[in-house]
Amino acid sequence: MPQIPIIMPQLGESIAEATVINLLVKVGDEIDADQDVIEVETNKATMNVTAPCRGRVQKFLVNLNESYPVGAVLGYLEVSRENAARLGLDSPTTDKADDKGQTPGNGAVDSTTEQVRSGVAPTVRGLPVPAHAAGASFMSPRMKARMNELGLHAADLAGIAGSGAAGRVTIEDFEKFLANLEKNKMSPASSMRVAVADAMRRSWTRPLATVALPISLDALLAHRKSTNPKPGPALYALRALALALSENSAPAGRLVGNRIVHPSAIDVGFAVEAEDGVLVPVLRNADQHPLRDLVERYNQLVELARQRRLPSDATGGSIATVTNFGSFGLTWATPIPLPEQTLVLGMGAGRRVPSWDEQKGQFAPVMEANLTLSFDHRVLDGGAAGRLLTRVARLLGSPAAL
């Protein structure tokens, strides 16, 4: 019977590869068109590869926990000639290969697949190298080539003290460092952990700063108590930030060369802790929808993020992020904006504190939390960041208007 390949699909606009984490069917199984056959993981989500048509699983060409590029052949299905013709594969691999003593689908096809695979490095590769205070400032071309071979960055080598001239890290220093690492307990970094590390490394190439403001949560909590369904504190903050940016989007602009690129839409993300990392779902046009209309979508995206199954239209392209670090009991933090963003708004845990009441002429207890705004200092100065944060605080003081 004819055989057709199972191809690694394009799983997202910026996705070039994916790691195979599970085979959902077995060789010999009869499967239907569009049935899930392989579970794969990208640096953004877990997704499934589906069968192109009805058939029988003839073989898989993949190994678990290995990465394969878009377009790679992952396996083969035995199908009817009608299905092969319908898919435009009028000359698929057939049993003719048996004339040379080869199993159908092996030989030239497999070697081609191996050539494709050999040009793609696994998502998780090399060694998890700890970063410390000092850094490898000077590296020879030979040293850089060795780092590229292992998939390492300069930041990964911050713990190496160079013995060469002017503190240069020699190849001997590097190999000794790697040998010492082998003596320690190590575990593989997940693809999400590697992706987060890469994003934060790129973010940190910019001058970042943080301003903060304590706010009273009493009005917000009272409004939330009387609302059904109840918005989460981060959603209040997201909506307030969206409204503030709709009044003046310049603070969310990106500096590219000598121009500030203003956002075309107020798409705001929010941080959700997932296994071994953080995902940032996006609420599109958050300034155009009242708070009550955002609750259901927000809750849905939180659950999908925790499952690492966010749809493509809910990821990427956001102009700012909101994070509720108060959910961990933290009262103060300095979150880092994503590389493509200028702003990240953070909310700390609420605490009952005394506040001076001018009308009563005495202190009264209020629920207070710190609101922080971390920003790219190339785009914003402290004054502009402070004004934006103050506007967000005022909007949070009138939650019914959100």
C-alpha 279 chain-centroid distance: 5
Nearest to 233 by CA among 298, 315, 303: 298
Three-point CA angle 129, 134, 136, nearest 5°:
70
Q: Quote the pLDDT of residue 136.
A: 46
The CB-based long-range contact list for 250-258 (8 Å cut-off, 24+ gap) reads 251/342, 251/343, 251/375, 251/379, 251/380, 251/384, 251/385, 251/388, 252/319, 252/320, 252/341, 252/342, 252/343, 253/342, 253/379, 254/340, 254/341, 254/342, 254/376, 254/379, 255/376, 255/378, 255/379
The more confident residue out of 173 and 73 is: 73
Looking at the chain, which residues constitute the CATH 2.40.50.100 domain(s)? 3-118
Tell me how far apart the alpha carbons of residues 318 and 267 are, in angstroms, rounded to a whole number.
5
The CATH code belonging to domain 3-118 is 2.40.50.100
The more confident residue out of 148 and 66 is: 66
Phi, psi of 216 (to 5 degrees): -85, 135
The more confident residue out of 140 and 316 is: 316
Cis upstream peptide for 229 (omega within 30°): yes
Task: State which amino acid sits at residue 59.
Answer: K
R_g of the chain computed on alpha carbons: 27
Nearest to 137 by CA among 87, 173, 89: 173
**Mean pLDDT of the chain, nearest integer:** 81
Residues whose CB falls within 8 Å of the CB of residue 223, separated by 6 or more in sequence, listed in order: 399, 400
Are 395 and 402 in contact by the 8 Å Cβ rule? The answer is yes
Q: Quote the pLDDT of residue 270.
A: 95
Looking at the chain, which residues constitute the CATH 3.30.559.10 domain(s)? 207-401
Q: Quote the pLDDT of residue 159.
A: 62
Are 353 and 173 in contact by the 8 Å Cβ rule? The answer is no
Residues whose CB falls within 8 Å of the CB of residue 343, separated by 6 or more in sequence, listed in order: 241, 251, 252, 319, 320, 321, 337, 373, 374, 375, 376, 380, 388
Instruction: Please give the helix or strand (H or E) that residue 374 lies within, else none.
Output: strand 362-376
Q: Quote the pLDDT of residue 88.
A: 65
Specify the CATH superfamily of domain 207-401.
Chloramphenicol acetyltransferase-like domain (3.30.559.10)
Place of tokens 């300095």: 334
Answer yes or no: pTM beyond 0.95. Answer: no
Residues 75-84: tens digit of each pLDDT: 999 988 887 7
Asked whether the predicted pLDDT for residue 165 surpasses 90, the reply is: no
Lowest mean pLDDT among 93-97, 146-150, 205-209, 226-230: 93-97
Provide the b/e sequence for 273-302 (b: ≥16 CB within 10 Å): ebeebbbbbbbeebbeeebeebbebbeebb
Q: Quote the pLDDT of residue 10.
A: 78
Q: Once rounded to an integer, what is the mean pLDDT over residues 227-247?
A: 94
